[in-house]
Structure formats: C-alpha cells, structure tokens
Structure 1
Amino acid sequence: MTDTAREALARAADAARLAPSIHNTQPWRWVVHADRLELFAVPDRQLREQDPDGRLMRLSCGAALHHARVALAAEGWLHDVERPAGEPLAVIRVERHEPADPRAMQRFQLLHVRHTDRRTVSDEPVPQGVRQALVDAARQGGARLHVLHRDEVLQLAVMIEHAGAAQQGDERMSTETAQWVGGDRPAGTGLPDAVIPAELPLTTVAERDFGVSGTLAAGAGHDTAASYAVLYGDGDEALDWLRAGEALSAVWLAATEHGATVLPLSSPVELVFTRQALRRMLSDTGYPYLVLRLGIADADHAGPPHTPRLPAEQVIELADE
C-alpha cells in the first residue's frame, strides 16, 4: 500500500476520537500500519465497578470502530474488517480506492455534529418513519433495536429507578463516577459541568444522577414525547458487545441526520438484576446492550457543547515499518 493509504488510516483513527463512550472514558487505542488499522481496548480507562466485565468498554470501542469506517468510506477507501476473538479487537484493512460517494461524505459530516444531549426533549414526538430508520440502521450495524410501547416504558422507569438506587447506595460505584464527572477529571476525558443538567429533569424515566450539579439548563419539558428503545442482539460475548457499539454509532448518526437526539441510558445493563429484567422485556429473544432515549431537541435553545477528547498522540500510535 502507498503512503496515501497509511495517511487515510491515520485520519480515520483521528476521526474515531469523536465516538461516544461510557462516561466519555474513550477506552480505545489505535495502531496505524501501512495497510491496516488495529483497534485495542485500554483497560486503564475501563469502569471497573460499573463495567467489571468490560462490556461497555467494548461497546465504546465498537462505536469508535464504526466512526473510523465512516471516515474511510468518506474518502472512497474500500476496506474489510476482521474482528478477532481477543486483541486487537478489530483490524481494518484497506483494499483499494474509488471516487467517494457523496452519501458517505455526508455521513462523515455527521460525526462532527453528533453529541449527547441530556436536556429534556421537546413536545414533538419522533416520527414513525424516523423510528423505522433507526431500527434499520441498528440491523445494518449488526444488532437490533426494539422501540418500547407505553407499558414497557413504565416498566423501564421502575427498572432504572431501582438501578439508580442500587448504584447510589454503592460507595465504590459513586466514587468511580465522581472520578469521571464534574470539575476534577482526567484531562481530555469525562463529563464536564457544561453537559450535566443543573438539576435532574422531572421525567417519567429518570436520567442518571451523577451526584453533581452541572451548569446545563435541563429545560422545562417532560419526556412524554420521547421514545425509548433497547439496543440488543443474539449474543452476550465480547464480539457481540463490539458489534453493539458499531450499531449504536450507526443508529446515532441516522438519528442526527433526521434531527433526532439520542441519550444512552446504561445503568440498567450495568447491574445483573436489571439486565435480566430487560431481557425478559425482550421475551428472552436477545441480550440487551443499552437503552436509548430518542427525542426531538428544543430548537429554541442551544444544545450542550461537545465533550472533550484526548489528544491524538495519546490514542493513536504510528507503527515503525
């Protein structure tokens, strides 16, 4: 491969820094070779208390993997992905270059627009056609998306309330959360005050209580117009969670394209008893990876800023070849 391919792979790894991750921990590392891009997990940025098995770490890495692929496609690079059962988590191999598809270039622009919005959503419901587009995006990304009906949303509300109470009562979990949220965080990571509501919104399905008061105006609305969905799949192994992250990224970009917001709710999959309850909600047809709140943002008020990112030199290594 030419130096141009290596440069494209480096740019793809750089674009992947924009991917969402649990508490913005960014638990990934890339190694750029002349013909391939290798993705590794970084256990030092794993949430050991909330994510002891590394499920959400791998999901986060999967989102980064999808971001990198979107970046390569936007430049016209055809590529193949290997997902070994171990490390590296994934290997992207470029095959050849073709003229870029305008649609792929548009998707790349969405990487820079996508962000997490913890404000209350507007009173405008997510149109059925948009919900179906997100279901389709999840399937194309390697997972499935089940949009909850009203009774299931009420069950979810109780489930999240129980999960929140259990986690707030666990001193080790609370201490871990405090390391990534608010003013004192590892540089370039975590959730700053500007993206955390000043007070918890009054909603049927509670948002995570981070234990700190941010500076983001939460809004005066409610979640009555929001849709809730469970991202799930057939397996519960490491590879399944990686693919779940790829699907999450695909769903989020599709939502951004259609003017919808996505708020991941991970607390019900962090605890065994709520994860089992979610699986029963799916009639035991799959394993839940994440709960998503879908909504339409209030266009009259500016959204929160993007969360910080680690510098490229901390997450991207250029192999000596």
Structure 2
Amino acid sequence: MSRYNAPFAGFLFISPWLIGFLLLQLWPIIQSFYLSFTDYNLLDQAHWIGTKNFRQIAHDRLFFNSLKVTFTYVLTSVPLKLAVALLVAMLLNRAVRGISIYRTLIYLPSLIGGSIAVAVLWRNIFGLDGFINKIVPLLGIAPKNWIGTPTTALATLVILTAWQFGSAMIIFLAGLKQIPAELYEASSVDGASKLRQFVTITLPMLSPVILFNVVMGVINAFQTFTSAFIITNGGPVNSTEVYALFLYKKAFGTFEMGYASALAWILLVIVAIATSINFIVSKYWVFYESEGGAAK
C-alpha cells in the first residue's frame, strides 16, 4: 500500500468505531445540550424556551433533595468501599497455599455487581421478612423494615456498594504487588511495627492507585441508579432518590425530556468539578516514586 493511502486506510480501519462514536455518543450529547433549552415531551415538537429549565431547577425542592441524597451517598459509600477493598487486597496479598482460589472466589460477586438480580436479592435480604431480621435479634436489635425506614434505607444502598468491592480490590492488589519487599524488610530491621509500615510505606507507595480508585469511585457513585431504582425506587419519602433516579423520573415518568436534559448537564458539571478537585488536591498526598515525593 502506498504511503499516500496510509491515512485513508487508517480511517477505514477505525470507521466502525468512529461511526458508532459520532452516531451513538457525540450526536446524542449535542442533542441533549439543545434539548436542555427546550420544552420537549418525546411526542410533540420541541419548543425553544431558553434557560427556563435551569431557572426552574434552581427552585425545585426535589432537585436539591436529590443532590443532598447523592452527596451523602458518595461521601459515605466511596470511602467505605475503598477501605474494604484495600483491607481485602492486603489479606489476599500473601504467599499462602491456594491464594489464587481465594482471590477468585472473593472477586466472583463483582461479576454480577450492579445487576438487577443483585438489587432484587438485596431488597429481599433487608426487607421486613428478610435474612437480616433473622440475625439482628441475636445481637439485641429489634427487627425492622430496613429499606422502608427513611433513616436506614440509604444505608442499605451504601452497604451494597461496599459489598461490590471486587474491581477496586483487584487494582489495589496489583498496586501492592509493585511495592518493593526491601522497603518492608529494611523497616522491620529498624523496628517498625506493621501499623507504622502501613502508614509510612504502603499508603504513600499506593497513593496513585488510591487516587485512581477514588476518581473512578466518585464518578460511578454520582451515576448510581439501578440499586436505588430496584430496591427502594427513591423511597421512603425520597430518602434514597439519588440524582440519576430523579433525572430518570423526569425523563420517563413525566416525560419532561428538556428538563431531564438540563439535569443531565448539571450532573456533568458536578462530576467534572468533583474530579478536578480530586486531581488538584492529589498533589498534596499522592506520591510518585519517579519524582521522589508528592506530585508536583
């Protein structure tokens, strides 16, 4: 093939992906931006109304409630999930017989994580007649409808997220494998305890991996939908109506597609700001070995 035809050949090879990106991603994004300034219900012609949707959102009590629920969910579920993932990764980072089997068995639930089947199972476990209520009396706790009580419903979703720690655990485990064993050996000679080693060696050396998991965890948490929709449908009294569920109800419940598009763009801005903050703050605590210290 002539070198002059090489660019054409390159575009030809990537054309399936390029066409899919333009038609299934870029065009819907452009359409969504346009619809956010319209009154559109899927059935009638979209009517341009300017910034009315955004001004209406600014006075929507349910919008601010969904923000409150979502931020509470993000700030509790992400740290808990990463803490569990790191703990399990450290337990599995051992040279013991059959460790690969244990890793596989522990990771298996993540293969079905986020599915409707898991959400239905979780709803049954924490329901009034669920498995949890058969255990808590042994701990001196009175049985209750955990997903039907406003003060505990969101906590069940947080616990579900923490239970789905498999992907973060695998990434942590890969990061732990990269930490030189000589560092632990030298610190042991100096009399450092396991806790001291964890604080001064493990966490700094693992900080880039922690940053990655934090960023991905925050982005995914802001978009959580399936568990809230299947388990509680936003109830009771909107205590679990996360942002994505609120957006869904506006789009396909009341068919306010223009309003929902405006909500989607607000969510994009929120996630972008949260991600930017994580990267800005990371220079104070993320350690890159090649730079010999915290990120500059």
Provide the TM-score with structure 2 as the length reference. 0.22
More strand by share: 1
More helix by share: 2
**Over alpha carbons, which structure has the higher Rg?**
2
